[in-house]
Amino acid sequence: MYRIFFLIVVVNLLAVLPGKAQPYPEEPELYSVTVDVETGYDIIVWYRTPSDFADYYKVVITYDNDGDPTTPTNSSMETGDPVYVPDTVFTNPNSGSQLGSVGYSVVAVNDLGGGIIFKSNWHYPDSTVFLESEYDSCQGFISLSWNDYNNWRGSIARYNIYRRLGPGMYQMVATLGEGTNTYEIANVVANQDYDLFVEVEHQDGRRSTSNRTHIVTSMLQQTGPINADYATISPGNAIDLSFTIDGTTGMHTYYLMRSENTAGNFSQVTEINTSDALIRYTDDIPFTSGVYYYRLDVKNNCGTFSAGSNMANNIVLSGSRTGMQVALTWNEYTDWDGGVQQYRVIRKQGRILLLVDTVSIGITQTYTDDLSSLVDYENPQSSLVCYEVQAVENLNSFGIQGKSLSNRVCFSVFPNIRMPDAFIPNDPEPMNQSFEPVFSFLPERYRMIIYNRLGTKIWEGSDAWDGKVNGKFVPEGVYVYYLRVYNYSTDVTELNGKVTVLYR
């Protein structure tokens, strides 16, 4: 809301002419009130009538204080000295027409001297056209609204909307008929300057332009494309997730979504507020429940969801063993940006000192392993054999090569056991100096007890017997052993037999 100001600009155009027949000047007729597109100055032009007895003119400016800048007032003041101009044109560089519509009226004055002044009637003000604009960055359009040129109502041929491209360079945006005072510019280009103004065209060809409004179409800060790097099984058997946001700026709200199928029905797992370009999260849902598909969505400041990431899913490995044959199957890793390059089957034997083998098998989702190829009585490995499958992505458009590890599937192979029937504690060859079972695979552990011919227990342990009792070699002869073998499963095997102790 503006306060009301009245500025009387005195324009001394004519000296008092001798022999004037009529002291009362006629009311001036305004030609146009317009805002200069380049300078923003208000320019007022009026006619001189053929019987013009005006010595000078007073330009009265009325600001909008009640929604109508053309409301006349009787409290105008005539101030200042006359401003001499060559014609019936007045330029106001400080009108305030960038803030609201401004009304102009011109009064003709006949100064007869001696303090006697004759004025024309008050001309009902013409108002500048005030253009307002609003930019909706969520919808991507500019809304324009403007008031009529009040004294041209009913005679307005059209409204022309222009975009200023540079000094004196204007691009037509739209042409509208009288009675339409709003317009929306849709599909605006992001991060552009829009200098806009409205031109009112009278039916007789006169034109008046509005103020110029300036808008920078700063679009909402959007994230760049989101890549689902991987969904992989963690050492704690949870599902670890990683997402990379390309070119992210500012704080964003992300929603981690999960589904049990690729077709949809995604539900929210968590909300993440971050400006980081790398987002990692661990979903504690048991991987054994099935295959889960994850997507990272982002919501902009307008409250609408923009495009989310591709999907990431965990790999569930299952397997079975028949004799020495292991059969493995797993589900596909479905939605990598680069696609699956290959699957790797990782085989590990043991719990502590692992023997690891990796086999690349292309993009098939089955694998058969023959454990008999691992039998080595001289250098047996653990009978606990575990498998994992790793999916490897082709290098994708983000410069990322994702990797996803499955759960672990283990098998306990009960070893074949061979027991020597004699040994020589004092033999020069170390391999002949002790008594112990020989395994095709190393079990979890075993316990062995040695008895003499009288049935007395003379030794017990979980490693080789060196033929000694209390640090002394036992006599030659036949001894009885009892062996209990514990494998990694619940399998337990008991063996007993005889072993002969010989000396050289």
For the sheet with 42-47, list strands across it: 29-35, 42-47, 89-92
Residue closest to 161 by CA, chosen among 137, 185, 139, 141: 185
388 contacts 452 by C-beta, under 8 angstroms? no
Position 60 scores a pLDDT of 82
If one counts every other C-beta atom within 10 angstroms of the C-beta of residue 188, the result is: 19
148 contacts 179 by C-beta, under 8 angstroms? no
- Torsion sign over Cα 12, 18, 23, 26: negative
Residue 435 DSSP one-character state: B
Residue closest to 376 by CA, chosen among 436, 305, 447, 440: 440
Domains of the chain and any CATH numbers = 8-127 (2.60.40), 131-216 (2.60.40.10), 226-311 (2.60.40.10), 317-412 (2.60.40.10), 417-501 (2.60.40)
Full DSSP string of 23-89? -SPPPPEEEEEEE-TTT--EEEEEEPPTT---SEEEEEEEE-SSS-TT---S-----S-----SSSE
Alpha helices in 321-403 (DSSP H): none
131 contacts 100 by C-beta, under 8 angstroms? no
Residue closest to 231 by CA, chosen among 319, 341, 316: 316
- Torsion sign over Cα 85, 91, 94, 95: positive
Position 221 scores a pLDDT of 58
Cβ contacts of 490 within 8 Å, gap of 6 or more: none
Q: Which residues of the chain have pLDDT under 70?
A: 1-23, 49-53, 64-87, 112-116, 122, 219-223, 248-250, 300-301, 307
**Pairing assessment for the beta strands 131-136 and 116-119 based on DSSP bridges:** unpaired
Residue 303 DSSP one-character state: S
Position 23 scores a pLDDT of 65
Cβ contacts of 3 within 8 Å, gap of 6 or more: 63, 65
Residue closest to 501 by CA, chosen among 439, 446, 460, 453: 453
- Model pLDDT for residues 90-121, shown as the tens digit of each residue: 899 887 899 999 988 888 877 766 666 777 77
